[in-house]
Structure 1
């Protein structure tokens, strides 16, 4: 049985001037595959793989294109227009995806992108997007293991750090003092599970267990020194706030990284700061 919001292999019933009619089963009946969407080669009685959604007049319609996001998934999509109904997002299909006003948490802007969840609305049967992400995140206790590599999508920032969707299902946090590079909402990246707390909250890291994150910070400090002409007015005695303001890391991480660079003779450490030696 073919359903809205899914891909299906459907039989070609007949051709009309505006396209091919496909057999989508008892519930949807015959659906149109518009002429601009038709495959180069086809025959009556043959089959075609399509995605099913609603056109601008709310009629079931087929497309051979693949949307940027399938219902049930999270995605980072651009706002193309806004009208009295809501915002319309670019999801790669001829008809833009509606994000109704009731599903928005903040004022959206045309040209900007936002993390949304896409689903088939139970009441209308239409495919829509929502900014109310927590409603669609899995609340069951995750079974991730410490150090496990996971796929992340960043979707927000708090005083603690960055919120991330784990494997398209659960939510976790990357703590700010453990992040050594700039992150943005919608970014997809690999991450690692630090721990799963008894309450189900997941602590994350961008780095595998061990020295990987310190090695990354070493490179960042070297790059920052080069940008500043080889000198930076920070050392082990600097306030933690000053270190965090410049590099966005904890004082402990800074001391570990600069200590390693000093041992490698890549920097010298003085009372006024650190200098490149190469």
Structure 2
């Protein structure tokens, strides 16, 4: 049986001017066009590994090209174009993969990347869906070990009702970011550099986009100084400001903001009063 959407090891059965017909032990055959042989030397009786998909005329076609994803894979892929009846994603072949409207759990945008699960539809064509949650696995189930503090890359594939972000670490392993760990709008498809904060008992990886406490403080201090210089050396924020106001302006928590202010005060760069914070840089 020849498997559409996967690699197959097939025997070269016969040759035509336009290509080679490949088959397995059954009667099924698939064409390998000579334009897709990549100038490889091929002889009758050879067993070769090829990827099989359907062309624009719905005919099974073999190629030596390596796709970006195969049937059964979850992959971070680019949307090639959008139509009224669905979207198409690039998997590295001369034909893009269809994403039906019913398989889009959120709005897709051309040239943006998202996580997709690749499957065969009822007609035997390769298709994709953004409904990937049931295909994201626990690292422990794959004997993959992570450590708290380790830096990883993950893709956001959904957002829970409570604001929790569902993450696929390395496009594969189940992770989450709790609402109190991020302070900017994050949408499905966003790829983030993350730090492992905790590994829960059930194997889910708890993540944060924040750096270490010291690095985060230094980052916020730079943002505060930049804001002050831009606004004539004064801002109406201090360590008594409301958390929601701090979050809206500096994309951080009040605790981290206070920590950053304290560090700048110790360095003699700012001073605070009831009205706000003033820059002292350059003053004798």
**Do both proteins adopt the same fold according to a TM-score greater than 0.5, normalized to the shorter chain?**
yes
Dislocated runs of 4+, deviation >6 Å: 139-143
- What does residue range 52-71 of structure 1 map to in structure 2 within 5 Å? 52-71=52-71
Give the number of aligned pairs. 274
Structure 2 counterpart of 1:218: 221
User: Aligned partners of 1:219, 1:27: CA distance in 2, in Å?
Assistant: 68
Are 2:277 and 1:273 aligned? yes
Q: CA deviation at 1:35?
A: 3.6
After superposing the two structures, state which structure 1 stretch, 146-155 or 172-181, moved more. Answer: 172-181
Are 2:81 and 1:80 aligned? yes
Q: CA deviation at 1:268?
A: 0.6
Q: CA deviation at 1:251?
A: 0.3
Q: CA deviation at 1:2?
A: 6.0
Cα distance, 1:276–1:204 mapped onto 2, change above 3 Å: farther
Cα distance, 1:88–1:220 mapped onto 2, change above 3 Å: same
Structure 1 counterpart of 2:170: 167
- What does residue range 243-262 of structure 1 map to in structure 2 within 5 Å? 243-262=246-265
User: Aligned partners of 2:17, 2:188: CA distance in 1, in Å?
Assistant: 45
Structure 2 counterpart of 1:192: 195
- What does residue range 1-278 of structure 1 map to in structure 2 within 5 Å? 3-8=3-8, 10-23=10-23, 25-26=24-25, 29-45=28-44, 49-71=49-71, 72-84=73-85, 86-106=86-106, 108=108, 111=110, 113=112, 115-121=114-120, 123-138=122-137, 144-157=146-159, 159-160=162-163, 162-179=165-182, 185-198=188-201, 201-207=204-210, 209-228=212-231, 230-265=233-268, 267-271=269-273, 272-275=276-279, 277=281
Q: CA deviation at 1:124?
A: 4.4
User: Aligned partners of 2:127, 2:28: CA distance in 1, in Å?
Assistant: 22
User: Aligned partners of 1:50, 1:260: CA distance in 2, in Å?
Assistant: 60
User: Aligned partners of 2:131, 2:31: CA distance in 1, in Å?
Assistant: 33
Indicate the RMSD between aligned Cα atoms, in angstroms.
Answer: 3.5
User: Aligned partners of 1:65, 1:223: CA distance in 2, in Å?
Assistant: 49
Cα distance, 1:42–1:160 mapped onto 2, change above 3 Å: same
- Bigger Rg, structure 1 or 2: 2
Structure 1 unaligned runs (5+)?
A: none
What SS does the aligned partner of 2:25 have? Answer: helix
User: Aligned partners of 2:272, 2:238: CA distance in 1, in Å?
Assistant: 7
User: Aligned partners of 2:157, 2:230: CA distance in 1, in Å?
Assistant: 30
What SS does the aligned partner of 1:277 have? Answer: coil
Cα distance, 1:112–1:171 mapped onto 2, change above 3 Å: same
